[in-house]
Amino acid sequence: MNKIVEVLPDKGALIERSLDLVLAKMQEAIEQRGRCTIALAGGGTPKPLYEAIATQDLPWDKIHVFWGDERYVPPDHPDSNEGMARRAWLDKVNIPPSNIHPMPTDGASPQDDASKHEAQLQEFFGTAVGEFPPFDIILLGIGDDAHTASLFPHTEALHVKDHLVTVGNKDGQPRITFTASLINQAHCVIFLVAGASKQPALAQIFAADADPITYPARLIQPQGELLWLLDSDAGQIMSG
Ligand code: 6PG
């Protein structure tokens, strides 16, 4: 794993840089593997990136979109990560509907839906139980509490190592989330972090030694590339 940290002058530059990176990684995946599998982050930071991707002329039939986590709400709920990405990007391009692989949130329980999505991933990638398929690109953010995806501090999801997908928990609210084990198999993980409020979390995430159960983004140590794109507000901690 080689970690690269880039501090961009502002949020706009962060989005531009992340667009360039994502497009390059998409092209590389398609050239090398015939398709690109990308898992999206939720929250607010990546929305302008998704809007920018929607302006690109890409081989949409070769691009498969997943989510790294999802709030346990219907896709038309304002909190839905799927809904946000569809409005910002997917509804605006000619991507085959079958290339969009949302996390189910309409089953009998969050655990049922986590298991269902795990089976959907295994079928898509042709992997067996216990195998962890390598996504080409996984986009992530971090919360002020150093969570990532829906891997929140001191929750059970952090300890699930033998599954691809599990149930996250934010203050008692269920989430569906990739496990750290699945994220760490990715060819390329890109964190997008903006805003001064993320400084304390970043300081702990980048510290030589801190508890990953308290600062879950520390669990993300992928086999492949790890890129941290910070705007200057978030990245001030890098200037010492
Ligand atoms: C979610 C995200 C979550 C997000 C961080 C940062 O479902 O909320 O996946 O992990 O990336 O909370 O969110 P902001 O980009 O809004 O700061």
What pLDDT does residue 240 have?
Answer: 62
CATH number at residue 85: 3.40.50.1360
Residue owning the nearest CA to atom 2 of ligand 1: 42
The rounded Å distance from CA 225 to ligand 1 centre is 21
pLDDT tens string, the chain, 240 residues long: the values are: 578 999 999 999 999 999 999 999 999 999 999 999 999 999 999 999 999 999 999 999 999 999 999 999 999 999 999 999 999 999 999 999 999 999 999 999 999 999 999 999 999 999 999 999 999 999 999 999 999 999 999 999 999 999 999 999 999 999 999 999 999 999 999 999 999 999 999 999 999 999 999 999 999 999 899 999 999 999 997 876
Residue owning the nearest CA to atom 13 of ligand 1: 43
The Cα 209–Cα 76 span in angstroms is 41
The number of distinct structural domains making up the chain is 1
What pLDDT does residue 1 have?
Answer: 58
Take residue 18 and report the two structure tokens written for it.
């992340």
Taking the CB of residue 237, how many other CB atoms lie within 10 A of it? 18
The Cα 190–Cα 44 span in angstroms is 15
Take residue 123 and report the two structure tokens written for it.
């079928």
Q: Is the CB of 177 under 6 A from ligand 1?
A: no
Testing ligand 1's pocket by substitution, the residue of 73, 105, 140 carrying the most ligand atoms inside 8 A of its CB is 140
User: Are 132 and 143 in contact, with CB atoms under 8 Å apart?
Assistant: no
Taking the CB of residue 118, how many other CB atoms lie within 10 A of it? 19
**One-letter identity of residue 156:** E
User: Are 217 and 142 in contact, with CB atoms under 8 Å apart?
Assistant: yes
Residues 6+ away with beta carbon under 8 Å from 24:
none
Which residue range(s) make up the domain with 113? Answer: 2-239
What pLDDT does residue 238 have?
Answer: 80
* Secondary element (H or E) of residue 7: strand 2-8
User: Are 198 and 144 in contact, with CB atoms under 8 Å apart?
Assistant: yes
The rounded Å distance from CA 174 to ligand 1 centre is 15
Q: Is the CB of 104 under 6 A from ligand 1?
A: no
Report the nearest atom of ligand 1 relative to the CA of 41.
Answer: 9
Q: Is the CB of 81 under 6 A from ligand 1?
A: yes
What pLDDT does residue 239 have?
Answer: 76
Taking the CB of residue 208, how many other CB atoms lie within 10 A of it? 4
